[in-house]
């Protein structure tokens, strides 16, 4: 195992109160699946879960949700009649280590039963980074002071339901049966299809109830010294059971290989065979070879993705933790899926994708894993028909992307909070997500030069969504166009008119669409003609986009350049804000998420966010004025908020809180500073953390088609280093206080022009360029 602590996340000792949080943090995965780091033997209060990308179902849940798939980790050890777990035996020693370098989770626990028998269990498991259908576990079980009559159960457990356990809220929700709490909370999605013994192993097949997705798991467990297993089974559970005697100090080694396929991968009738074929292949190779292949795959991922900071080891570890979670959240192999707001690590937000993907996470993938970025954007094309339906359902033309998007792209935002107490309006009103999709695809094409993506997919998205905007905009008597009844990024304020964020983005969106149309007319006339014919798009419609864009009503700025967040915002009540020990703002006494609409307080970055996503629309003094005005009013009740404030603080020349905001974002889950990590990783904050490092401290932006840098380092850091993919090449960047070093590496030989502190620099391929930052006016 890795020994450098900057690659490790460690849990020392078992604390029931933190068990669910660690399950989330210790999720292992590979983009195809995510498996929470629950203790394999289970315990009261545990929330295990494996989630398979794209496996959604509705059935008796409030809305379509990501299904809790069968648990492949399940492994129980019975010693002299006691099934060892944290409640049946005392825990003498417990330590778990997530090795982020190769995505594996180590565990070492010593149990002592009521007769003083001590048994040590050590495990390592991972979801293979080399083969997305493979999961591996090795356990070493050692009776330390006794001869163990030992039974090991190893199998596939499909008995779990979504939200088996109530989520923990600060104030427990009322148990009013009218609220159908139990129905809302605990949902069944799987029917059993088959459970069988296979050669040397077991196989479980289930099917989702509404969506009809077949899910197959094949598992083979072997033990050493060898023992022949029996097979035990009951509804939705099948396991191999090994009975043996183990002398004191001897170790029983258990290897478990599991293969997983669904009918999303192969035809339903072939799922079982696909599992068995893979299992056979991996069994031939054996656990050590599977592990080595996994390590090799992770070496490649990190070579492109790592960010290091010299001078702050804690930040390096936290940065890697966030990048690790981004790396297990998605991969390039499925263009029909996106990343849920809690990735594949938990049930919060039901696996639904938000604007989080394009605005917070996509930059990481664009610049480090562009094939994955492409797959994520292809999902938006795959769900374009769903977006068309959303527009149609609202009475509009074109396509409107869902605020919460699952498998089809049809709006899946629940209309009520889970306790039934509050109406959720985001599905109807948080329409800025549609421009986030445009934002993501424009950035992707600019960075990769993937014009085929634009002609084959991106243009259709841009054109259909522009149609939605012009229909959704309302013509006013003065000839301007307004957008009423929306929610901007700040979700404390619903039903607002002319949200600055939304309206600026819509204007930008329409102009981009028209620009792309004009560009394709020159570079790809046949493709444009084909697309126009297919969607019935006329040139005069495109001209209208530009005319309307020019007339969109943009909220006025005050004398200092502060942009009013929406119509009437400046007239709202100012409430005092207090901060906690960590200097983070608190709700004023008596206030909470649902009663702050009459105040100027913000849930999260809104106008400041606008100045970040559209950097060229606002001069520096306007950015500064808005940062100074809105930052003290922002409560950061969304984990998406701190990252943007860190970046914009640096950009406007007030980096005093940049490191604090970085820590808030980077440690949101490691320290559970939003209090809900047990329900899943804040994956948008993970993307935001990467952006702080690269766009904040590294000062990276794309401007006029070029990579530009305006770095700034905190005094106690020595350097920051990262890599960016650009048009197929890689730019390695290392920034120090006084200098910055750039190296552009192939495969292409084309030089690039980059801009550092406003100075253009020509970068040859494979030749390091060192810039004296003092001379560039930094």
Residues with active-site annotation = 491
Which of 242, 298, 355, 612 is in the footprint of ligand IFM by CB under 6 A?
355
**Shortest distance, CB of residue 328 to ligand IFM, whole angstroms?**
18
Binding residues for ligand IFM, rule CB under 6 A, total 10
Structure tokens at 334: 């499925």
Among 489, 680, 688, 711, binds ligand IFM (CB under 6 A): 489
As annotated, the binding site for substrate includes 355-356, 603-604
Cα–Cα dist 444/366, whole Å: 6
Q: How far apart are CA 611 and CA 651, in angstroms?
A: 10
**Is 640 a binder of ligand IFM (CB under 6 A)?**
yes
492 binds ligand IFM (CB under 6 A): no
Q: Which is nearer to ligand IFM, 341 or 693 (CB)?
A: 341
User: Is residue 684 near ligand IFM by the rule CB under 6 A?
Assistant: yes
Looking at 356, 358, 429, 494, which residue binds ligand IFM (CB under 6 A)?
Answer: 356
Of 464 and 679, the one with the shorter C-beta distance to ligand IFM is 679
Residue 354 near ligand IFM by CB under 6 A: yes
Q: Does the footprint of ligand IFM cover residue 401 (CB under 6 A)?
A: no
Nearest CA-CA partner of 65 in 342, 357, 435: 342
The residues near 26 (Cβ < 8 Å, ≥ 6 apart) are: 9, 11, 36, 37, 96, 98, 105
Q: Are 513 and 438 in contact (CB under 8 A)?
A: yes
| Closer residue to ligand IFM (CB): 91 or 633 | 633
Using an 8 Å Cβ cutoff, are 763 and 752 in contact? yes
662 binds ligand IFM (CB under 6 A): no
Neighbours of 750 (CB within 10 A): 12
Q: Smallest gap, in angstroms, from Cβ of residue 264 to ligand IFM?
A: 24
341 makes contact with ligand IFM (CB under 6 A): yes
Place of tokens 């600060």: 170
| Calpha distance 685→444 (Å, rounded) | 20
Least gap, CB of 430 to ligand IFM (angstroms): 8
Under the binding rule (CB under 6 A), the answer on residue 685 touching ligand IFM is: no
Give CA–CA dist 154/160, Å, rounded. Answer: 16
By CB under 6 A, tell whether 638 contacts ligand IFM. Answer: yes
What six digits make up the tokens of 570?
A: 């400046």
- Beta carbons within 8 Å of 658's beta carbon, 6+ residues apart: 646, 647, 649, 650, 692, 696, 697, 712, 714
* Minimum CB distance to ligand IFM, residue 684 (Å): 5
Other Cβ atoms less than 10 A from the Cβ of 134: the count is: 24
What gap in Å lies between CA 519 and CA 524, rounded to an integer? 8
| CB closer to ligand IFM, 74 vs 640 | 640
Among 351-359, 464-472, 515-523, 644-652, the segment contacting ligand IFM (CB under 6 A): 351-359
Our CB check for ligand IFM shows the closer of 266 and 633 to be: 633
Contact region with ligand IFM (CB under 6 A), list: 112-120, 273-281, 352-360, 649-657 = 352-360
Residue 610 found at the interface with ligand IFM (CB under 6 A): no
Q: Give the Cα separation of 658 and 649 in Å (integer).
A: 6
Give the dihedral of Cα atoms 476, 471, 335, 535; nearest 10 deg.
Answer: -140
- Options 174-182, 350-358, 528-536, 766-774: segment touching ligand IFM (CB under 6 A): 350-358
Name the binding residues. 355-356, 603-604
Of 400, 398, 388, the closest CA to residue 426 belongs to: 400
Check binding of 322 to ligand IFM (CB under 6 A): no
Locate 180 and state its tokens. 């159908």
What's the closest the beta carbon of residue 32 comes to ligand IFM, in angstroms? 22
* C-beta closer to ligand IFM: residue 128 or 685: 685
Residues of span 159-218 touching ligand IFM by CB under 6 A: none
Cβ 71 to ligand IFM, closest distance in Å? Answer: 26
Which H or E run contains 190?
Answer: strand 190-198
Q: Judged by CB, which is closer to ligand IFM: 23, or 430? A: 430
Beta strands in 303-443 (DSSP E): 308-310
Both tokens assigned to 261:
């396929």
Structure-block tokens of residue 457: 């997919």
Q: Which residues bind ligand IFM (CB under 6 A)?
A: 341, 349, 354-356, 489, 491, 638, 640, 684
């Amino acid at each position: 195992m890795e020994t450098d602590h900057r690659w490790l996340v460690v849990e020392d000792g078992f604390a029931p109160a933190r068990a669910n949080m660690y399950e989330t943090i210790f999720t292992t995965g590979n983009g195809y699946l995510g498996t929470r780091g629950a203790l394999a033997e289970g315990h009261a209060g545990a929330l295990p879960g494996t989630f398979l990308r794209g496996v959604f179902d509705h059935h008796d849940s409030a809305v379509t949700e990501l299904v809790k798939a069968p648990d492949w980790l399940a492994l129980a050890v019975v010693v002299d009649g006691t099934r060892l777990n944290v409640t049946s035996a005392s825990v003498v020693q417990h330590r778990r280590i997530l090795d982020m370098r190769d995505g594996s989770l180590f565990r070492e626990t010593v149990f002592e039963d009521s007769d003083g028998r001590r048994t040590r269990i050590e495990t390592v498991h991972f979801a293979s980074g080399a083969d997305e259908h493979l999961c591996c576990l090795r356990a070493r079980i050692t009776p330390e002071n006794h001869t163990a009559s030992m039974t090991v159960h190893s199998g596939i457990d499909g008995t779990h339901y979504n939200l088996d356990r109530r989520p923990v809220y600060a104030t427990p929700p009322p148990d009013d049966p009218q609220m159908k709490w139990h129905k809302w909370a605990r949902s069944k999605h799987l029917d059993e299809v088959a459970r069988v013994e296979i050669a040397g192993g077991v196989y479980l097949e289930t099917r989702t109830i509404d969506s009809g997705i077949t899910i197959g798991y094949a598992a083979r467990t072997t033990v050493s010294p060898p023992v022949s297993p029996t097979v035990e089974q009951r509804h939705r559970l099948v396991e191999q059971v090994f009975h043996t005697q183990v002398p004191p100090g001897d170790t029983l080694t258990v290897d478990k290989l599991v293969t997983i396929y669904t009918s999303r991968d192969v035809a339903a009738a072939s799922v079982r065979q696909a599992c068995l074929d893979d299992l056979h292949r991996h069994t031939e190779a054996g656990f050590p070879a599977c592990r080595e292949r996994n390590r090799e795959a992770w070496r490649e991922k990190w070579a492109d993705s790592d960010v290091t900071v010299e001078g702050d080891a804690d930040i390096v570890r936290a940065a890697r933790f966030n990048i690790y979670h981004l790396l297990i959240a998605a991969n390039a192999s499925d263009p029909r899926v996106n990343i849920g707001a809690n990735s594949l690590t938990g049930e919060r937000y039901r696996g639904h994708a938000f604007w989080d993907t394009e605005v917070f996470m996509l930059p990481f993938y664009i610049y480090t894993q562009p094939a994955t970025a492409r797959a994520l954007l292809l999902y938006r094309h795959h769900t374009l028909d769903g977006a068309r339906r959303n527009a149609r359902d609202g009475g509009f033309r074109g396509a409107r992307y869902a605020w919460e998007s699952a498998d089809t792209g049809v709006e899946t935002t629940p209309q009520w909070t889970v306790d039934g107490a509050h109406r959720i309006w985001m599905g109807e009103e948080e329409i800025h997500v549609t421009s986030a999709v445009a934002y993501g695809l424009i950035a992707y094409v600019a960075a990769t030069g993937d014009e085929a993506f634009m002609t084959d997919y991106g243009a259709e998205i841009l054109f259909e969504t522009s149609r939605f905007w012009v229909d959704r905009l309302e013509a006013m008597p003065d000839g301007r166009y307004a957008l009423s009844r929306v929610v901007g990024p700040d979700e404390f304020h619903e039903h607002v008119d002319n949200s600055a964020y939304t309206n600026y983005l819509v204007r930008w969106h329409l102009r981009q669409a028209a620009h792309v149309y004009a560009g394709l007319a020159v570079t790809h006339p046949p493709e444009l003609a084909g697309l126009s014919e297919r969607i019935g798009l006329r040139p005069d419609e495109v001209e209208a986009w530009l005319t309307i864009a020019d007339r969109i009503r943009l909220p006025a700025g005050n004398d200092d350049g502060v942009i009013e967040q929406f119509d009437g915002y400046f007239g709202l009540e100012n409430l005092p804000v207090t901060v906690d020990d960590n200097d983070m703002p608190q709700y004023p006494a008596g206030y909470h998420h649902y009663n702050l609409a009459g105040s100027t307080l913000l849930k999260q970055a809104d106008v400041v966010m606008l100045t970040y996503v559209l950097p060229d629309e606002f001069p520096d003094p306007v950015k500064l004025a808005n940062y100074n005005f809105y930052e003290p009013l922002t409560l950061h009740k969304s984990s998406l908020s701190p990252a943007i404030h860190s970046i914009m603080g640096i950009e406007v020349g007030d980096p005093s809180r940049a490191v604090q905001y970085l820590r808030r974002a980077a440690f949101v889950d490691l320290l559970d500073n939003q209090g809900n990590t047990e329900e899943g990783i804040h994956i948008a904050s993970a993307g935001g953390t990467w952006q702080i490092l690269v766009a904040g401290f590294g000062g990276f932006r794309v401007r006029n088609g070029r990579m530009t840098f305006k770095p700034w380092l905190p005094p106690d850091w020595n350097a920051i280093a990262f890599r960016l993919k650009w048009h197929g090449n890689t730019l390695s960047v290392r920034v120090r206080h006084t200098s910055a070093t750039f190296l552009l590496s192939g495969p292409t030989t084309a030089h690039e022009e980059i801009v550092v502190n406003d100075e253009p620099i020509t970068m040859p391929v494979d030749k390091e360029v060192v810039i004296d930052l003092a001379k560039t006016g930094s």
